[in-house]
Chain A
């Protein structure tokens, strides 16, 4: 039923529109059936009729105005017919069958009538038209109200409504207050430019103007009354702001929740401390003078906000002054010594040059707080000077870039020092520059029965461990000798190298007294070839269980057998995933001539060259054991008591540099796991000797080299990352792929195995185990190639004898960190024929094991 009504209504509407269209005629369209119809054309009204139409289709009239007073008429007719207007011939139907006439309006806007006739060639009258034309002088009619009530705080006002004979009307405003409004000229919609406020102005007047096409205008005065809305106070929130001290640019904003029923037009401060600050209308507070944290660290006052309704609200404001140190918050006098260490040592944390010799305390080599040979320790700060009797200068900038870290971290760790274990041939625990940093409760003496005790070597000739320990943590600012990389860390010593028992190693690496709290173990030892899983078995437990499950970090030297074609990947001590294998750099930032390469290397650090012809590493030595003159001289002549040496070198020296760096990193970020430390070491290492051909960029954008690992350890980068919202690595995932091969590989041949991997993890480490009965397994060069094409040479041919790959040998691959495991991997094995020995073997099996997350 309802549908039927709708249909009928729709039909009627269409009918009315059709009639209206015919009646009004549009504008200048054809009018073939237009007798007696009014045609509205722009600003004119034309009334015309055809009293003598014989046939509708022979006659066409087009009407259009060419200017304000002229109507143009186009007639259709027989070619050659004459056109008469009010009896006077005005034209002829042209060859196109058309004639154009221009008819003007009458004077004084009166109606003027035109009679138009067409006569054919024989003067027979064919058509007659009558036009009555008058000018449009009728203005639009405004129908909207002249008094409007609108609520305050709203911009909408009303919409002007007007009608006009010719339809189209435009709108505008006038009057003194019309500038407060905007009007849409087509729709007539009027809005306030700014929402009205009853409390400020309650009534507005303006003229609305409607203009038609003929420029006829209708004007109506409109009064707009603003309606009051009930009063609401502003809402503010108590606010705590932090302003940097010593800065007039410090700024904060009061939290304005609501302005009430109008805007906030005024904010003022009051209270005891308010005279030190100013506030703007929108709540921005600034200090009037520079604040000083040391004088007052916090201010309190009140802010009152007034809205247009005259309502106000006050809230408490607290300004906390941020301590911006002249240099560093942790090192007030900016002397490269943290405040707490200066206090601990009885130094003045606000005096950067206590002995007033022009050298800041943290770089001091003189006086009771100096380190006598600090300026020789180029690995800490390279001054570009000669540091030993080699006569060779170091290179400025080729150092650990560690000085800025010393503003905050030195291993002291709020009087809870980071503990670094040194497993070596012992440590001279009473050494003047070590004894204050010795942790005797976690030190082990293995001579005889393994037990907690003094790790001092039985023989004074055993100096290796003391040199290693000095690199890590010889005490700084004590008026003696040198300083360690982490000069306030603790050393847990051990003379395990003197006995080398498995049970002793388990004790120091895993189960010993206070083992859980030892953060790092440094191991500056190994062998050219080690195929003994015992090490890895202990390390696995240590990384799983110690440090409350975060794992101890084990740092090992890569080895010094490069001359013998040695490779770090030939030792199960250095090529397992639980350790950080460290290569050695010289002062030129290139790998040392002795430093083992290997695909298992993670990072490098300074180990120096041979001390007679190159800068080496300055450190402690068993007291009285160095030579300061003559033959065998290995310390400075100023080392009167023979307690130090400038001869330490090797990956044995590079390894404790890394151990010291990691002590600082773990002081900064104590929650890092052993995997995080490895990951940060790799991802932030500095690519030195960038032009060297062995660098390979993996698909994660990390550069790795068999000579450098990921490069020089970078303490600043590691600490920067781990202290800035670093998230520990997710739980470790692993999987392996094993395949029996049994393929004879001829000498002087290479083979590529494709290995399809479906599992996808982000790689941290890969073990590749190859079982081959080659009688001289060192003839093999073995490369692992990732799906993205990253090539890592795990091991190269060497002089090592025997079929050591028989039964399987496991190589480590460190160079694929952050690559995806999924895809096709390749293992390329090349069998070198050395000196025409023509030795070959069978590749029995391959196993790839991936570790990552």
Chain B
């Protein structure tokens, strides 16, 4: 089934036809409003990879996190590409240990290295393993709030 979908996707990509209809300068798009100060303006920049996209994200910091983020070693979440099997070698290389594998395929590693979680992720994303990794994040609180 996945193969069929893949073929379908490839076919569609082959016949994709995207053209630029118009680009036009629009002075109405210049607006003189002040950007609002967001409710959680204190954030921490982190390099992560999410579903294949490496990016810097801003983690909102509460008071508790502000003081502890530099030393946080709560572990990391890793989702490997489907053909990657040697997770033990990966763990050994970075001195981390598998804590749990989730049903969605994520590995949760305890951080027993001498790096904090932030630096550990940066290190992994600089290594040869980065190509085998779809997602890597610190295993921290997911950072949501009740509405």
Instruction: Write the residues of chain A forming the contact surface with B, with a CB cutoff of 8 angstroms.
Output: 424-425, 464-465, 497, 499-503, 505-506, 510-511, 524-534, 537-538, 541, 557, 559-561, 563-565, 573, 650-652, 655, 734-739, 741, 743, 745-756, 758-759, 799-802, 804, 806-808, 826, 830-836, 846
List chain A residues, Cβ under 8 A from B128: none
A-facing mask of B128-147, CB < 8 A → 1, else 0?
00000001010101111111
List chain B residues, Cβ under 8 A from A807: 53-55
Quick one: given A525-B145, A528-B38, A748-B30, are A736 and B9 in contact (CB under 8 Å)?
yes
12 residue pairs bridging A and B, Cβ less than 8 Å apart: A528-B40, A533-B50, A559-B147, A741-B18, A754-B17, A758-B12, A759-B12, A802-B58, A804-B55, A832-B29, A835-B32, A846-B18
B5 engages A464 (CB within 8 Å): no
For the residues of A in contact with B, the DSSP-based class is mixed
Q: CA–CA, A802 to B59, complex, Å?
A: 12
List chain B residues, Cβ under 8 A from A528: 38-40
B30 engages A502 (CB within 8 Å): no
A-facing mask of B22-53, CB < 8 A → 1, else 0?
11111101111111111110000000001101
B106 engages A650 (CB within 8 Å): no
9 closest A-B pairs (Cβ-Cβ)? A807-B53, A756-B17, A500-B141, A652-B147, A533-B51, A739-B18, A464-B146, A752-B21, A833-B30
B100 interface hit (Cβ, 8 Å): yes
Quick one: given A497-B146, A502-B139, A750-B23, are A531 and B12 in contact (CB under 8 Å)?
no
A499 engages B141 (CB within 8 Å): yes
B27 engages A503 (CB within 8 Å): no
B35 engages A505 (CB within 8 Å): no
- Select from chain B the residue with minimum beta-carbon distance to A797: B31
B146 engages A833 (CB within 8 Å): no
Quick one: given A500-B141, A531-B50, A833-B30, are A754 and B21 in contact (CB under 8 Å)?
yes
B20 interface hit (Cβ, 8 Å): yes
Q: CA–CA, A563 to B142, complex, Å?
A: 23
Q: B73: shortest Cβ distance to chain A, in Å?
A: 15
Q: CA–CA, A833 to B139, complex, Å?
A: 37
List chain A residues, Cβ under 8 A from B79: 537
15 new A-B contacts at CB < 8 Å, known A464-B146, A835-B32: A497-B144, A528-B38, A531-B50, A534-B77, A561-B39, A564-B36, A655-B147, A748-B29, A749-B25, A753-B20, A754-B18, A755-B18, A801-B58, A826-B21, A830-B29
A735 engages B39 (CB within 8 Å): no
Q: Which residues of chain B (95-141) have a CB below 8 Å from chain A? A: 100, 102-106, 108, 135, 137, 139, 141
B27 engages A835 (CB within 8 Å): no
B13 engages A737 (CB within 8 Å): yes
List chain A residues, Cβ under 8 A from B104: 506, 510, 534, 537-538, 541
List chain A residues, Cβ under 8 A from B77: 502, 534
List chain A residues, Cβ under 8 A from B16: 737-739, 755-756
Q: CA–CA, A835 to B33, complex, Å?
A: 6
Q: Which residues of chain B (45-71) have a CB below 8 Å from chain A? A: 50-51, 53-58, 60
B19 interface hit (Cβ, 8 Å): yes
Query: Which of A499, A741, A753, A826: most chain B CB closer than 10 A?
Result: A753
Q: A571: shortest Cβ distance to chain B, in Å?
A: 9
- Select from chain A the residue with minimum beta-carbon distance to B18: A739
Quick one: given A748-B29, A749-B29, are A835 and B35 in contact (CB under 8 Å)?
yes
List chain B residues, Cβ under 8 A from A836: 30, 32
Quick one: given A503-B108, A751-B20, A751-B22, are A530 and B144 in contact (CB under 8 Å)?
yes
List chain A residues, Cβ under 8 A from B21: 752-754, 826
List chain B residues, Cβ under 8 A from A804: 55, 57
Instruction: Write the residues of chain B forming the contact surface with A, with a CB cutoff of 8 angstroms.
Output: 5, 8-9, 12-13, 15-27, 29-40, 50-51, 53-58, 60, 77, 79, 100, 102-106, 108, 135, 137, 139, 141-147
List chain B residues, Cβ under 8 A from A799: 35-38
Q: CA–CA, A755 to B20, complex, Å?
A: 9
Q: A834: shortest Cβ distance to chain B, in Å?
A: 6
List chain B residues, Cβ under 8 A from A511: 103
Q: A748: shortest Cβ distance to chain B, in Å?
A: 4
- Select from chain A the residue with minimum beta-carbon distance to B77: A502
Q: B36's contact among A506, A529, A565, A743, by CB below 8 Å, is which?
A: A565
Q: CA–CA, A753 to B68, complex, Å?
A: 46
List chain B residues, Cβ under 8 A from A561: 39
Q: CA–CA, A505 to B32, complex, Å?
A: 42
- Select from chain A the residue with minimum beta-carbon distance to B34: A835
Q: CA–CA, A826 to B21, complex, Å?
A: 9
List chain B residues, Cβ under 8 A from A846: 18
Quick one: given A736-B12, A739-B16, A754-B21, are A831 and B108 in contact (CB under 8 Å)?
no
A752 engages B20 (CB within 8 Å): yes
A532 engages B50 (CB within 8 Å): yes
- Select from chain B the residue with minimum beta-carbon distance to A750: B26
- Select from chain B the residue with minimum beta-carbon distance to A849: B9
B142 engages A651 (CB within 8 Å): no
Q: A531: shortest Cβ distance to chain B, in Å?
A: 6
B102 engages A527 (CB within 8 Å): no
Q: CA–CA, A163 to B12, complex, Å?
A: 84
List chain A residues, Cβ under 8 A from B146: 424-425, 464-465, 497, 524-525, 652
B18 engages A651 (CB within 8 Å): no
B23 engages A749 (CB within 8 Å): yes
List chain B residues, Cβ under 8 A from A534: 77, 104, 106, 135, 137, 142
List chain B residues, Cβ under 8 A from A655: 147
B135 engages A541 (CB within 8 Å): no
Q: CA–CA, A655 to B23, complex, Å?
A: 40
Q: CA–CA, A532 to B58, complex, Å?
A: 12
B108 engages A502 (CB within 8 Å): yes
Query: Which of B32, B135, B144: most chain A CB closer than 10 A?
Result: B144
List chain B residues, Cβ under 8 A from A759: 12
Query: Which of B12, B25, B32, B106: most chain A CB closer than 10 A?
Result: B12
- Select from chain B the residue with minimum beta-carbon distance to A802: B58
List chain A residues, Cβ under 8 A from B137: 532, 534
Quick one: given A531-B55, A559-B147, A735-B12, are A510 and B103 in contact (CB under 8 Å)?
yes
Q: CA–CA, A3 to B141, complex, Å?
A: 104
A749 engages B24 (CB within 8 Å): yes
B35 engages A834 (CB within 8 Å): yes
B30 engages A806 (CB within 8 Å): no
Q: CA–CA, A573 to B5, complex, Å?
A: 25
List chain B residues, Cβ under 8 A from A758: 12, 15
B144 engages A650 (CB within 8 Å): no
Q: CA–CA, A660 to B108, complex, Å?
A: 35
Q: CA–CA, A834 to B137, complex, Å?
A: 32
Q: A360: shortest Cβ distance to chain B, in Å?
A: 35
B25 engages A746 (CB within 8 Å): yes
Q: A684: shortest Cβ distance to chain B, in Å?
A: 25
Q: CA–CA, A706 to B135, complex, Å?
A: 31
Q: CA–CA, A500 to B139, complex, Å?
A: 10
B143 engages A748 (CB within 8 Å): no
- Select from chain B the residue with minimum beta-carbon distance to A559: B147
Q: A373: shortest Cβ distance to chain B, in Å?
A: 23
A525 engages B147 (CB within 8 Å): yes
B36 engages A745 (CB within 8 Å): no
List chain A residues, Cβ under 8 A from B9: 735-736
Q: B141's contact among A501, A736, A800, by CB below 8 Å, is which?
A: A501
